């Protein structure tokens, strides 16, 4: 009880914001051990709540055939059982682990096997692995979110992650018998492209981050450009992110710019599913590559998910080459 009280005093010292809902196990540390907890104010941030909800819904969608329902990420994923099923479903593999383990040692051994399989997938692509067995088993929500975000990006999950999500984390360490606390900022997501480690920042990152007032000018120029050509088919665009999301206008636009007819059996003229829309956008990307354009700095899934920045990048790619085409 003395150690628990000491931990609470360290966390609630005048130099640190008050921390609510401190669990006893969070203050019972071994020498040089540390524990991380998300500051309550960060948990109330709308973007953080959105990230947790998006990932929770995605995990449940993936595991729906397994009759598994995840209600709390940190409570349901820490022992490796659900993570095993999630990875097997995503990667189409079967892990050689015990189905159910009750002991802490058994849970950590299972978790070790699951995380090693995850690392084998992510390491070749240069991912930063910001979790380990102890942090996941210790129900560290920050580590669990890092893991799920990486899996979602690697397997191109059909979800839209909120960008620039960061949290304030309270780090409690025990040194020489005393508990010390500090606050650090932990970034959970940056832009989609930066998370994937695929692209450097470009003019559109700068535009969105530092000059949002000029965004309307760029959108207006691109709308004028696409309508100049789509009007030939009696089509008109007013909203870039929504009207290009199913890929139909994008395919037709590339055909008009390159002056050829795109056979209708090559794409879905009235797509009614996410996969059909992704097919259309991917097909448009292929046509763009065939026309000598660079590979778009966007994923088809991002365009389908109404990500404005990704849609603008794709259209600007066309604009730079075909702006003088009549």
Alpha carbon separation from 249 to 138, 226, 297 (Å, rounded): 49, 9, 19
- Measure the CA–CA gap between 117 and 115, rounded to whole angstroms: 5
pLDDT for position 200? 46
Question: Residue 19's pLDDT is what?
Answer: 43
pLDDT tens for 250-280 read: 999 999 999 999 999 999 999 988 889 989 9
Stretches where the chain sits below pLDDT 70 are 1-32, 100-101, 124-128, 190-211
Tokens at residue 62, please? 């993936």
Residue 21 zone, left/alpha/beta (φ > 0; ψ -120 to 50; rest): left
Q: What is the DSSP letter of 266?
A: G
Looking at residue 320, what is its pLDDT?
A: 87
* CA 215 centroid distance within chain: 24
d(CA 40, CA 19): 7
Q: Give pTM, 2 decimals.
A: 0.56
- Where residue 177 falls (left for φ over 0; alpha for ψ -120 to 50; beta otherwise) is left
pLDDT value for 186: 79
d(CA 110, CA 108): 5
pLDDT of residue 190: 58
Q: How high is the pLDDT of residue 286?
A: 92
Pick from 93, 99, 195, 190: nearest CA to 151 = 195
Give the whole-angstrom CA distance, residue 182 versus residue 159.
34
Q: For residues 9 and 7, what is the distance between their CA atoms, to the nearest angstrom?
A: 5
Pairing of strands 34-38, 178-189: unpaired
**Number of DSSP helices (H) and strands (E) in the chain, helices first:** 16, 3
Whole-number Å distance between alpha carbons of 143 and 140: 5
């Amino acid at each position: 009880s003395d150690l628990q009280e000491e931990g609470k005093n360290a966390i609630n010292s005048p130099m640190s914001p008050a921390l609510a809902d401190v669990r006893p196990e969070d203050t019972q540390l071994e020498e040089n051990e540390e524990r991380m907890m998300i500051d309550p104010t960060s948990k109330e941030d709308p973007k953080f709540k959105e990230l947790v909800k998006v990932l929770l819904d995605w995990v449940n969608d993936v595991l729906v055939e397994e009759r598994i329902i995840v209600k709390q990420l940190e409570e349901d994923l820490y022992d490796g059982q659900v993570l095993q099923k999630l990875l097997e479903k995503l990667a189409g593999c079967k892990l050689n682990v015990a189905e159910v383990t009750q002991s802490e040692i058994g849970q950590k051994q299972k978790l070790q096997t699951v995380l090693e399989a995850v690392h084998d997938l992510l390491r070749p692509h240069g991912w930063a692995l910001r979790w380990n067995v102890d942090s996941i088993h210790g129900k560290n929500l920050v580590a669990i979110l890092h893991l799920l975000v990486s899996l979602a990006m690697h397997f191109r999950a059909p979800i839209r992650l909120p960008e620039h999500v960061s949290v304030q984390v309270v780090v409690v360490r025990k040194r020489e018998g005393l508990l010390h606390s500090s606050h650090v900022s932990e970034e959970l997501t940056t832009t989609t492209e930066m998370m994937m480690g695929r692209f450097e920042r470009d003019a559109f990152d700068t535009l969105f981050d530092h000059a949002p007032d000029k965004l309307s000018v760029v959108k207006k120029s691109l709308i004028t450009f696409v309508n100049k050509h789509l009007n030939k088919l009696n089509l008109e665009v007013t909203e870039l992110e929504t009207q290009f999301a199913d890929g139909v206008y994008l395919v037709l636009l590339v055909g008009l710019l390159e002056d050829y007819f795109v056979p209708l059996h090559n794409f879905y003229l009235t797509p009614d599913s996410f996969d059909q829309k992704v097919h259309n956008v991917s097909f448009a990307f292929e046509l763009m590559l065939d026309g000598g354009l660079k590979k778009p700095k966007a994923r088809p899934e991002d365009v389908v998910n109404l990500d404005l920045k990704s849609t603008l990048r794709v259209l600007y790619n066309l604009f730079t080459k075909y702006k003088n085409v009549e």
